């Protein structure tokens, strides 16, 4: 059984990200090698458990599990509290290893619980969405949303292992699958023109969920994020490039109460917004902007944003966690595979770019 293990060196410890078809059947072995204890506790969601619970239980017999609500609107303190309560009732001590089986929301909620329960216990991510496999399961960011903004409450807590099995993506709805592809496009835009081109020219194989193609683009995306995280674990500088498209994207999610958009869809709009600003500034070529627009359009339709207003989105952006000393740091593309960070985007530039993608005044 082929596996592609990517080592991530964090300040606290080094951990593996395993990428390979069928790896979910080897969970006990893989997490055991990473130092998981016999006292294990799984947290997942009902839909994920329906599809993958039997396989996980077979791989990790006699392991208790808790199912919590999934979806961005469930990324709250209430969900974290449910995890705390169950751990306390089962007398889980500091040797417990918590295993998050699910998408990005499950990973973030469970990760925040692991970071704070008894001041920190071991965590394993078993991501079951493409978005989580290439992004949220790697790098140690954990947390919950606040009604006034996304990911405002959180911490850094690195897992002891990540196990990504492309085979579990076969049960993923097409829209959720596309959501992850937007994030992979982001990696191509910020660091790897070859990855961008691979997605552009292999959409048929990607949507057929070819294990060979998926293993390749997932592993490449993980390596890109690993390289960034190792150099800037807590987002003081370089790691900000991972936020390409997230400024407007997070605002779009918050403005619609996290109901209308999948995360990747909002980020797709966000990438279009900043690429428009960069093109107008003359630092991003019109040809590259057109290539980005084309690949996003070829993935399928995005939900409408016609009823949103630029004023509303700009007000939300002011509370963005990337604001520092009154300045909003924005990742701008300068080419396919290169970016720069600026903090001088004007209100007029935002308004014009938002209007270009269909947002109202």
Residues acting as catalytic residues:
119, 141, 183, 225, 235, 239, 243, 246, 250, 263
Alpha-carbon span 272 to 264, nearest angstrom? 12
Query: Is 242 in contact with 190 (CB distance < 8 Å)?
Result: yes
CB atoms within 10 A of CB 257: 10
Query: Is 142 in contact with 155 (CB distance < 8 Å)?
Result: yes
CB atoms within 10 A of CB 14: 11
Pairing label, strands 4-9, 14-19: antiparallel
Torsion of CA 25, 30, 32, 37, to 10 degrees: -70
Q: Tokens at residue 208, please?
A: 């057929």
Q: What are phi and psi of 126, to 5 degrees?
A: -120, 85
Specify the 3-state DSSP secondary structure of 186.
Answer: helix
């Amino acid at each position: 059984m082929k596996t592609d293990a990517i080592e991530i060196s964090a300040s606290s410890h080094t951990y593996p990200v395993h990428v390979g078809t069928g790896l979910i059947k080897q969970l006990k072995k893989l997490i055991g090698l990473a130092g998981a204890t016999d006292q294990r506790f799984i947290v997942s969601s009902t839909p994920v458990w329906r599809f993958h619970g039997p396989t996980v239980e077979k791989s990790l017999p006699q392991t208790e599990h808790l199912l919590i609500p999934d979806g961005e609107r469930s990324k709250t303190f209430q969900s974290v509290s449910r995890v705390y309560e169950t751990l306390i009732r089962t007398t889980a001590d500091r040797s417990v290893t918590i295993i998050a089986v699910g998408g990005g929301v499950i990973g973030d909620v469970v990760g925040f619980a692991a970071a704070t329960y008894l001041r920190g216990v071991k965590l394993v991510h078993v991501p079951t969405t493409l978005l989580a496999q290439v992004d949220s399961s790697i790098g140690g960011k954990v947390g919950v949303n606040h009604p006034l903004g996304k990911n405002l409450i959180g911490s850094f807590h690195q897992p002891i292992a990540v196990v990504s099995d492309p085979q579990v993506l076969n049960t993923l709805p097409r829209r959720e699958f596309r959501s992850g592809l937007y994030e992979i496009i982001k990696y191509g835009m910020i660091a790897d023109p070859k990855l961008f081109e691979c997605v552009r020219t292999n959409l048929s194989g990607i949507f057929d969920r070819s294990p060979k193609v998926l293993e390749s683009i997932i592993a490449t995306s993980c390596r890109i994020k690993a390289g960034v995280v190792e150099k800037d674990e807590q987002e003081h500088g370089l790691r900000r490039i991972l936020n390409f498209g997230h400024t407007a994207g997070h605002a779009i999610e918050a403005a619609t109460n996290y109901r209308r958009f999948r995360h990747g869809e909002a980020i797709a709009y966000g990438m279009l917004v900043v690429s428009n600003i960069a093109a107008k500034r003359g630092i991003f070529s019109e040809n590259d902007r057109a290539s980005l627009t084309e690949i996003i359009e070829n993935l399928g339709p995005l939900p409408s944003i016609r009823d949103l207003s630029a004023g509303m989105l700009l007000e939300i952006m002011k509370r963005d966690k990337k604001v520092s000393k009154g300045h909003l740091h924005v990742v701008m593309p300068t080419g396919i595979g290169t970016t720069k960070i600026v903090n001088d985007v004007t209100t007029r530039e935002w308004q014009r770019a938002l209007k270009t993608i269909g947002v109202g005044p």
